[in-house]
């Protein structure tokens, strides 16, 4: 009962109230901001699975986001695939790249893994930038068809909003089920002590690769959404600074907490927009927010432990409310 109520409230907020407000305010600009926040929420949630839940700091998430965006853009402009095909295909291609590129780095831990993903992200960025014959290099790919279905609806701000919102909700559902299950507990065990987890019979390398592949899949989907909603992508959208922004969002929201990832994306992208009147100082404010939140809220705005029990209480599909502990099978 409580579960369906919380889900209903969130659904109404995302699919009725928010687009209603945006339509009344009537700002194409605010639609743009909201879809950007949605795309980054998907990115942050997916990076949170690797960096927060599995504990592998990734500094190259923007690279995988870029692979997804370029896959979708090239398929849509070259082969004229519609968005409902490019989205999953971009995700799958990115996941394959993720597995391929990450296989050799999976035995690295801690700072070494972070550095390796930084290198991978930069390699991807530089390849997108310099392989002019395939990706058109710094010119980017323009005139990417928007989110539209022949005969049903044309590309519009509202269509973009709903595409991003539905994808983000699906991502939150899938990643939430992953993170708040036995599987998520296994990932957390790997984060806390991988040797101990291995001695308990968990296949650490397989878990790491799986979580990385899931994260890459959703990063690719986010990239495809970005390509379709903006209509133009260039390698500049997928630089190291974007990876850092994603990481900052996770940290501000709380490492390992799924709602925190969304809150982080809303804050770090919404704040510069709200602070637009003070103009050039807004990036300084973003830096200051990041610094202060690390200083005073080291666990983030929504810390992992409190959020875990909250999520289980409100949405826990396998959580026994009567006993408050244990799992219904």
Partner 1 sequence: MFDIFFVQQLVNGLSVGFIYALMAIGFTLIFGVLNVVNFAHGEVYMIGAYAGWLSITIFAPPLFVVILVALAIGALAGFGLERIAFKPFRRFRDEASLKSKAMREATLLSSLAISIIVRELAEKIFGSNMQTIPQDYLLLTPIQIGPLSFASGQFLIFGLSIVMLGGLQWLLKRTQVGLSIRAVANNPMGATYVGINTERTIIATFVIGSTLGAAAGLVVGLYQGAIFPAMGFAPGIKAFVAMVMGGLSSIGGAVVCAIILGVAESVTTSFFAQGWGDLVAYVFLVMTLIFFPTGLFGGGRDRV
Residues found near partner 1 in the complex (CB under 8 A): 55, 57, 104-105, 107-112, 115-116, 118-120, 122-123, 126-127, 129-130, 240, 244, 247-248, 251, 255, 280-281, 283-284, 286-288, 290-291, 294-295, 298
Residue with tokens 């987890």: 197
Name the minimum Å distance from CB 168 to partner 1. Answer: 25
Name the minimum Å distance from CB 176 to partner 1. Answer: 24
Of the two residues 86 and 257, which places its CB atom closer to partner 1 in the complex? 257
Phi, psi values for residue 22, rounded to 5°: -60, -40
What is d(CA 187, CA 54) in angstroms, rounded to the nearest whole number?
Answer: 5
State how far the alpha carbon of 69 is from the alpha carbons of 116, 128, 149, 150, in Å. Answer: 22, 11, 20, 22
Give 187's DSSP letter.
H
Name the minimum Å distance from CB 84 to partner 1. Answer: 35
Of the two residues 20 and 110, which places its CB atom closer to partner 1 in the complex? 110
List the structure tokens of 169: 């909700």
Name the minimum Å distance from CB 274 to partner 1. Answer: 17
Q: For the residues of 121-148, what is the DSSP string, one character each? A: HHHHHHHHHH-HHHH-GGG-B-----S-
Name the minimum Å distance from CB 130 to partner 1. Answer: 4
Name the minimum Å distance from CB 75 to partner 1. Answer: 25
CB 144 within 8 A of CB 87: no
Name the minimum Å distance from CB 239 to partner 1. Answer: 10
Label residues 156-195 b or e (16+ Cβ within 10 Å = b): ebebbbbbbbebbbebbebbbebbbbeebebbbbbbeebe
- Residue 96's Cβ-count burial label (10 Å; 0-12, 13-18, 19+) is middle
List the structure tokens of 299: 């666990």
Of the two residues 104 and 201, which places its CB atom closer to partner 1 in the complex? 104
Of the two residues 55 and 184, which places its CB atom closer to partner 1 in the complex? 55
Name the minimum Å distance from CB 137 to partner 1. Answer: 8
Of the two residues 157 and 237, which places its CB atom closer to partner 1 in the complex? 237
List the structure tokens of 84: 């409902």
Alpha-helix runs per DSSP H in the chain: 2-12, 18-25, 28-48, 61-78, 83-102, 110-130, 132-135, 157-179, 182-192, 194-199, 204-230, 240-253, 258-274, 282-296, 304-315
Of the two residues 106 and 258, which places its CB atom closer to partner 1 in the complex? 106
Of the two residues 50 and 116, which places its CB atom closer to partner 1 in the complex? 116
State how far the alpha carbon of 171 is from the alpha carbons of 45, 78, 240, in Å. Answer: 8, 27, 24
Of the two residues 6 and 127, which places its CB atom closer to partner 1 in the complex? 127
């Amino acid at each position: 009962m409580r579960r369906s109520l919380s889900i209903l409230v969130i659904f109404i907020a995302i699919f009725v109230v928010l687009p209603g407000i945006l339509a009344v305010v009537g700002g194409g600009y605010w639609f743009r901001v909201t879809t950007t926040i949605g795309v980054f929420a998907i990115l942050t949630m997916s990076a949170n699975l690797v960096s927060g839940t599995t504990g592998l700091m990734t500094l190259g998430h923007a690279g995988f986001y870029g692979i997804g965006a370029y896959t979708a853009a090239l398929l849509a402009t070259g082969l004229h695939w519609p968005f409902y095909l490019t989205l999953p295909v971009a995700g799958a291609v990115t996941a394959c790249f993720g597995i391929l590129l990450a296989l050799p780095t999976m035995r690295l831990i801690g700072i070494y893994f972070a550095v390796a993903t930084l290198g991978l992200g930069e390699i991807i960025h530089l390849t997108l930038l310099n392989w002019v014959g395939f990706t058109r290099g710094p010119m980017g790919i323009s005139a990417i068809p928007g989110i539209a279905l022949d005969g049903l609806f044309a590309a519009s701000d509202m269509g973009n909003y709903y595409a991003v919102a539905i994808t983000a909700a699906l991502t939150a559902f899938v990643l939430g089920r992953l993170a708040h299950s036995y599987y998520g507990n296994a990932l957390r065990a790997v984060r806390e002590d991988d040797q101990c987890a291995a001695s308990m019979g968990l296949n650490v390398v397989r878990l790491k690769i799986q979580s990385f592949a899931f994260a890459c899949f959703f990063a690719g989907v986010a990239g495809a959404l970005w390509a379709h909603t903006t209509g133009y992508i260039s390698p500049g959208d997928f630089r190291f600074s974007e990876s850092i922004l994603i990481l900052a969002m996770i940290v501000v929201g709380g490492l390992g907490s799924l709602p925190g990832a969304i809150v982080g994306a809303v804050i770090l992208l919404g704040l510069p927009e709200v602070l637009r009147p003070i103009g050039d100082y807004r990036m300084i404010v973003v830096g200051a927010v990041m610094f202060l939140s690390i200083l005073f809220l080291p666990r983030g705005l929504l810390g992992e432990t409190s959020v875990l029990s909250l999520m289980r209480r409100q949405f826990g599909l396998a959580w026994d409310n009567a006993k408050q502990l244990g799992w219904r099978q």
